[in-house]
Structure 1
Amino acid sequence: MKRSYINEILKEGDAFIRSFGYVMPPFAYLSPEEMKAADHSIYVERGMGWDITDYGLEKFDELGLFLFTVRNGIAEDLNKGTGMLYAEKIMISRKDQLSPMHRHYIKAEDIINRGGGKLVLELFAPNEDGTINREKDVTVPVDGRLVTLPAGGLLKLDPGESVTLMPGVWHAFWGEGGDVLIGEVSTVNDDRTDNWFEMKIGRFSNVEEDVAPTHLLVSDYDKFL
């Protein structure tokens, strides 16, 4: 993705988030220079900040996701069983924009429709080896009630509704009828190691530096900080 396009997506996404009354934390708006000058060690260590991904396929409008990690613990806390064991994200799934089929090894997550169109999730249960089971029903908690779907069934969440996905549950999602603001509350998040995609794709975008970045992405930290 060209950096100029990423900058444009950041501007549009920020406006969309604000339109629902969600206020981003101050560190979201640090310039690269301000980020470098600040004590940025926590943001880097915990992967907090902006994340615009096309999964390395250069088709963001069709296959992509807008994310911002607001808070995050560390894997060592999970191993100890005490400390900051949780994470929070705010995300945007555009109308008909696919976040491709994947599962997590460790992370349990609540996916919440915070506003906009319907959020549609395609769900599969895992086999014992973690691969997709294309025959078995899948059961997930939806706001306190258990919902059972056939393999590959579509769960549609209206604004205010949420689903809990335990580690291993395969899921893809997209917006229906409009762009969707998504909240995610989860156990500690590690996007570098805790994603198993059905497709052979990457987790982060390949960036072409045609202009300077407005704000750094999480995947930029190794390069710029």
Structure 2
Amino acid sequence: MPLTEDEIDDLLYLARINDTTDLSSLLTSLSQTHSLPPQTILEAAQDPETGNGVLHYAAANGHIDILDFILSLYPSPSSSSSQPTSTSTSNPSSSITGTPRIPLLHPNDQGNTPLHYASLNGHLAFVKRLVALGADPAARNAAGHDPVYEAEMGGRDEVVGWLLAEGGASLEGGVGGEEGGAEIGEDIDVGVSEVDGEEKIVEGVRRELERAGVVEREGG
């Protein structure tokens, strides 16, 4: 996909500042320039240094408008697919299974998904929408942390409670239940941790997660 660095930067920046009007105009222009559909343009817009896409930045900042705009570009199998669904008490994982509706839920180079970002920064409405779209609450980043863990470490109790209620026992390890994890309230080692004999750079993952919440353009 022949997007230039400037084109990628502009797309990501508009997602970070919640500018759906200019994002729509830019996508239309790039679609004509490259003779590709806007969905393909969006999917190709990934930061070459981090692997972050437009949905990563929208999620980090809780920009529901950007999410709604993205969804408007993809066919919907039903009118209810883009809305959060209630979880059945007989099947506590029913709303977190199935094929993701959109291909922008992918992890970046550090293994962080948009759901990691939304969870860390406490954007519960965004978290619910992502899960309804097929985001995986059990996905682990390079530090071995899932979105529940990131939310707990950020003090986002509402997000933690909601994700645990949705995922049940399958997510309890994300708050420190698995080997190598920190217990609730325990200080996290932000240096280098060893998991299964491999070194995981926790500090780098944490910095990259937090940096995604900054909406100012670098150098601007």
TM-score norm. by structure 2 comes to 0.29
Name whichever structure is richer in helix by fraction: 2
TM-score, normalization by structure 1:
0.28
